[in-house]
Amino acid sequence: MKYVLGLTIKDSSYTSKIEESLRLDFLVLINTERDYVRTGDDAVFYIVVMNMNIATKVGNLLKTYEDRAMPDIQLLIPDEYDIKKNLKHIPGDVRNLGGKFVLEHSGQKVTKEDMAKFTRAVGRSCLLRTIKRRENNVKELKETYLQPPGLNWDFYGVAE
């Protein structure tokens, strides 16, 4: 059986300690893939990053762990379609300036919760669109108890 998992890296900050968090998430991802291999199953992981800075950090992690058995990881960056589709989640406007998403305030306060909701919605939109296009006969399983532990997956499904 083939499992299809999707994850959005939700911290789009340039100043936080994102490297350590990403490293730990990446180790969970590698262990998840190993669990599938042990049972004779396959898995593909789609990871959505919100800017080029985070994409570079994830790319560096891939290089760091390239000597290990690497999972099939597809790195995605949302496009304007995903952003425009989900602007209703925040009281402002988002512009993509060279891979860096910038929020332009419309006079209302934008909270961290607003941005987290927006990021999750954009990531899920990007995941659904890409997975539908690339994977055959994927059935999304929404029961969270079926999902591998350790990460808050934004998509979990099986391909027949």
pLDDT tens for 19-74 read 788 888 888 988 999 899 899 999 999 999 988 888 888 888 888 877 666 788 89
What's the rounded mean pLDDT across residues 137-156?
93
Calculate the alpha carbon distances from 38 to 31, 41, 92, 124, 147 in Å.
11, 7, 47, 28, 17
Q: Is the pLDDT of residue 121 over 80?
A: yes
What's the rounded mean pLDDT across residues 127-141?
94
Give the pLDDT score at 157.
96
Q: Is the pLDDT of residue 154 over 70?
A: yes
Instruction: Give pairs for 149-154: CB < 8 Å, separation 24+.
Output: 150/28, 150/31, 150/32, 151/7, 151/25, 151/28, 151/29, 151/32, 152/7, 153/5, 153/6, 153/7, 154/6, 154/7, 154/8, 154/48, 154/120, 154/123, 154/124, 154/127
The proportion of the chain whose per-residue pLDDT surpasses 90, expressed as a percent, equals 36
Give the pLDDT score at 130.
96
More confident residue, 105 or 53: 53
Instruction: Give pairs for 16-25: CB < 8 Å, separation 24+.
Output: 18/54, 18/57, 19/57, 22/54, 22/57, 22/58, 22/61, 23/61, 25/151
Domain carrying residue 17: 2-159
Q: Is the pLDDT of residue 97 over 50?
A: no
Domains in the chain, number: 1
User: Of 8, 42, 36, nearest to 22 (Cα)?
Assistant: 8
Give the pLDDT score at 46.
96
pLDDT digits (tens, 9 = 90+) for 72-93: 889 999 988 888 788 776 765 5
Give the pLDDT score at 8.
92
